[in-house]
Amino acid sequence: MPTPVGWAVRFAVSPSGRKVMKRAIRTARSAEGRKLIAQARTVANSAEGRRLIEQAKRVGKSAGQAAASPENRTRFDTLRDRLRVAGSDSP
């Protein structure tokens, strides 16, 4: 079963993903994008930000364990098949 990172990589190399990535890079290079990135770093380094990041990691782990259960795996496979059909133009 592919990991969420695997899906992200697949998306990033698909035609629509490349378009999204190019847009994100352009935004990040703009003054507004640089300001937002600096703001995100500041929040991530604060105590509240670190707490939220840890909370997100815990939620991600529990979601990963839930996804590994047999009934959720079949749901995931069904969703993956639907995505495959929807994105049949991607490599």
Q: 12: part of which helix (H) or strand (E)?
A: helix 4-13
- Which pLDDT score, from 0 to 100, does residue 76 have? 65
Q: Looking at residues 2-20, what average pLDDT do you find?
A: 75
- Which pLDDT score, from 0 to 100, does residue 91 have? 47
- Which contacts qualify for 31-38: CB closer than 8 Å, 24 or more apart? none
d(CA 32, CA 25): 12
Domain ranges of the chain: 1-45, 50-85
- Which pLDDT score, from 0 to 100, does residue 4 have? 66
